[in-house]
Amino acid sequence: MIMPAPFYPGPSKEYENGKPMDRQEFIDALVELGNQRYHSLHPFHKLLHNGKLSFPQVQAWALNRFYYQWSIPRKDLTLMARINDVKLRLEWRSRVIDHEGDIDGSGGIARYLQLCEKLNLDLEYVKSCKGLLPATRFAVDAYVNFVENKSLLEGIASSLTEIYAPAIHQERIAGLSKHYEWADDYALAYFKKRINQARKDVDFGREWVINNAKTRSDQEAVLNAVKFKTEVLWAQLDALYHSYVEPGNIPPGCFIPTDYKLKNVKK
């Protein structure tokens, strides 16, 4: 799409002549962004990880999150299609393989569907994405659009929320295992496997970004790209909270769990 300059990150006049941050300052700024904005702080995750969500609420989470999960390789392929450096493309390829696996369906998406299966969701319905909250689709599509339209540096930088991911995956595995009966190894296989994958991806992505963000403007564009990505994640939880927790107004046409108490829903 035609992205109007003022609304998305890009080199900003403000920093045009600014002194670049050194390596440690830059890393500190990235970490601080996570401390302020990563979706581990979101009330919906607090409820989820502390066993405060009902089974139908967890179903709604898993069903919506599927679209994010499923779109990650689309995002990575969109990015790869814009990379001219073959070595960098090859490096990035492992992310797609991690998610999609081989033709036998052994990748992260298949493992994620194990969670949906344990949650008694109809997998064909999940994969059809018919019950998605529109806000989920808008946020996730915005991410794919971002890597298609922004600079390569910003596109790669937007994946750096992975820096914060291993901690939330560990918190999630511990919390779900403790509080929910269905949360066995089979259900949580995606998150368990993902911890080490994310670590490997982060090491590469972070170093690449640090080495390629030479100016202060570049560095600010990187921080803005990560900020954008935290918004993509946060907005998904806002929508889940609104629709399935409080006030619980499910938008027309979206997933209605069985026996769910309806408020503003026309059947």
- Residue that is written with structure tokens 């300052």 in the block: 25
Provide, rounded to whole angstroms, the least separation between the CB of residue 147 and a second copy: 9
3-state per-residue secondary structure call for 15-55:
HCCCCCCCHHHHHHHHHHHHHHHCHHHCHHHHHHHCCCCCH
Q: Binding residues for a second copy, per CB under 8 A?
A: 1-2, 4, 6-7, 36-37, 41, 43, 74, 78, 128-129, 133-135, 137-139, 141-142, 144-145, 148, 227, 230-232, 234-235, 238-239, 241-243, 246-247, 249, 251-253, 264, 266
Provide, rounded to whole angstroms, the least separation between the CB of residue 40 and a second copy: 12
Provide, rounded to whole angstroms, the least separation between the CB of residue 157 and a second copy: 17
Provide, rounded to whole angstroms, the least separation between the CB of residue 183 and a second copy: 26
- Residue closer to a second copy (CB basis): 192 or 242: 242
Q: Give the residue ranges of DSSP H helices in 101-188.
A: 108-118, 123-128, 134-149, 152-157, 165-179
Provide, rounded to whole angstroms, the least separation between the CB of residue 195 and a second copy: 25
- Residue closer to a second copy (CB basis): 43 or 105: 43
d(CA 7, CA 18): 21
- Residue closer to a second copy (CB basis): 122 or 207: 122
Tokens standing for residue 140: 């996730």
Burial level of 222, CB count in 10 A (0-12/13-18/19+)? buried
Helices 134-149 and 55-80 pack at an angle, to 10 degrees, of 20
- Residue closer to a second copy (CB basis): 148 or 189: 148
- Residue closer to a second copy (CB basis): 63 or 135: 135
Task: List CB contacts of 64: < 8 A, sequence separation 6 or more.
Answer: 132, 133, 136, 236, 239, 240, 255
Provide, rounded to whole angstroms, the least separation between the CB of residue 142 and a second copy: 4
- Residue closer to a second copy (CB basis): 17 or 252: 252
Burial level of 88, CB count in 10 A (0-12/13-18/19+)? middle
Provide, rounded to whole angstroms, the least separation between the CB of residue 218 and a second copy: 21
- Residue closer to a second copy (CB basis): 124 or 259: 124
C-beta separation of 150 from 77 below 8 A = no
